[in-house]
Amino acid sequence: MSNTSIDYGQESIGKLFGKLFFPTVAGMMFSVLLIITDGIFVGHGLGSDALAAVNIVAPAWTFATGTALMFGMGGSIIASISLSQGQEKKARVYMSISLIISTLFLLICSALILVFPHTSLRLLGCSEELMPLAKLYLLGFIPFSASNAFLVSGSFFVRLNGAPKFAMICSITAAVINLVLDYLFIFPLQFGIMGAAIATSIGSLVGAAMTAVYLSNKNRKLHFCTISSARTGIAITHALKRVCTLGFPSFLGELALSFMMLVGNIVFMKYLGKDGVAAFSISCYFFPIIFMLDSAIAQSAQPIISYNHGIGDKKRISSATRLALTAAILCSVLISGITFIYSHGISSMFVSAESPAHAIATAGFPLYALGFIPCAINIIAITHFQSIERSNIAMLITLMRGFIFLGLAFWIMPIILGINGIWLAVPAGEAITCLITIAIALGSSKKKH
């Protein structure tokens, strides 16, 4: 591949994975830092009610991120395959369609939410008590949600272009700006909960602008180009359908986080009131660490798998998948151990030790962490099947882990085990899905042989 420092078809899988893994994980971890810092500053600077309000609004944010992942992952898979077959123009068209259409779609969604903020918040399960705080946070970040989405989806193509370190720099820049402005807006300037939202928005806007400038450079292999079907020979509607089909499991995966937050908020409110929601919101700040880490590992393997799928090298596909799976499991074991040992300290990062939410979270975190390892296996499996254009299997696994078994677990587990059952709902959903995923993988392997 000319004009890039990465050769996806010839370089050793270990070196390839390393080149992509470390910058991708570093960038993703800074994004996690952005999320956690926001929670720490909101919790300590504005109180547990503000923390609960942010968690109520969070599904709207994850919807935007899910849209970005759908277009970014789907477009990147097709672009990777196109590049492996020497079709550079086609790869550029798919990149342009993915980024431009997704941005326009999210701008329209943002406009609708701004016109109907109260209706939107009620649909998210917001109580009247939390409505004022939730509305302020919603109005602070919704106008810029498309910029955060562009940063996420654009990173796929920057990495595919052979510049994973620049993608990392864009993410780190957004996180650092958010970190500094969060502190200034919440503490010295006392802008309240809207200040926290605006800080996040400004950070993502800068990161998105950097990404857009990079992908506008026509000296890059992948850069923005016309998407007119008359000039490219590619029907835009057909291209959109293909991008969305391959990327839809990623959208569902992010939407599953929203579903988890939404259902969890309802169940915790029912059993433990607003203190339970505040405790659950801490876990919703912490869970993205493992989810985004697994996603970063999967995204590191995706261009390798897709490129070699394009040239039909099954051995390299298997090697990349095994390497990603090993890395994800090891990281999950490490974070699970940290959660078991330091659950009290993690809770104290977000709320004071005297808060009722602190005691609830401290008791629940070790149970919640049981789901980290099966979650890692599920995420890598989903990305593997997406990358080899088996989106039907990827979608099935995503639906099971994020909706079907999760919803059933939140309904049944509290009835059987009480409060502990609420915390064990997510691990139960992940574990059941993991067993089925392993069975699917073994079945696919037997069919190949």
Helix intervals (H) in 85-163 = 88-115, 117-123, 131-141, 145-160
Of the listed ranges 25-29, 206-210, 291-295, 336-340, the one predicted with least confidence: 25-29
Determine, yes or no, domain membership for 432: yes
Read off the pLDDT of residues 26-66 as tens digits, 9 standing for 90 and up: 877 777 776 667 767 777 777 767 777 777 777 777 788 88
pTM for the full model?
0.82
Q: Which residue has the higher pLDDT, 160 or 227?
A: 160
3-state secondary structure of 128: coil
Q: How many domains does the chain have?
A: 1
pLDDT at res. 230: 43
Using alpha carbons only, what angle is made at residue 44 by residues 38 and 49, rounded to the nearest 5 degrees?
A: 85
Rounded average pLDDT over 336-362? 85
Residue 389 Rama label (left phi>0; alpha psi -120 to 50; beta): left
CB 97 within 8 A of CB 273: no
Tokens 């898979």 found at: 77
Residue 448 — pLDDT band, cuts 50, 70, 90?
A: low
What CA–CA distance (Å, rounded) separates 116 from 23? Answer: 39
Q: Which residue has the higher pLDDT, 67 or 229?
A: 67
Determine, yes or no, domain membership for 210: yes
pLDDT at res. 446: 59
User: Does 234 have pLDDT greater than 70?
Assistant: no
Determine, yes or no, domain membership for 4: no
In eight-state DSSP terms, residue 403 is I
Determine, yes or no, domain membership for 2: no
Using alpha carbons only, what angle is made at residue 87 by residues 84 and 90, rounded to the nearest 5 degrees?
A: 120
Distance of CA 430 to the CA centre of its chain: 17
Determine, yes or no, domain membership for 233: yes
pLDDT at res. 28: 76
What CA–CA distance (Å, rounded) separates 429 from 441? Answer: 18
Rounded average pLDDT over 319-338? 92
Q: For residue 94, what are the domain limits?
A: 14-448
Does the CA dihedral 243-407-420-45 come out positive or negative? positive
Of the listed ranges 87-91, 126-130, 373-377, the one predicted with least confidence: 126-130
Residue 240 — pLDDT band, cuts 50, 70, 90?
A: confident
Instruction: From residue 426, give the alpha-carbon distance in Å to each of 239, 287, 373, 400, 423.
Output: 35, 10, 12, 12, 7
Residue 233 — pLDDT band, cuts 50, 70, 90?
A: low
Read off the pLDDT of residues 206-218 as tens digits, 9 standing for 90 and up: 999 999 999 988 8
pLDDT at res. 2: 39
Read off the pLDDT of residues 59-68 as tens digits, 9 standing for 90 and up: 777 788 889 8
Determine, yes or no, domain membership for 5: no
pLDDT at res. 352: 79
Helix intervals (H) in 187-235 = 192-215, 229-232
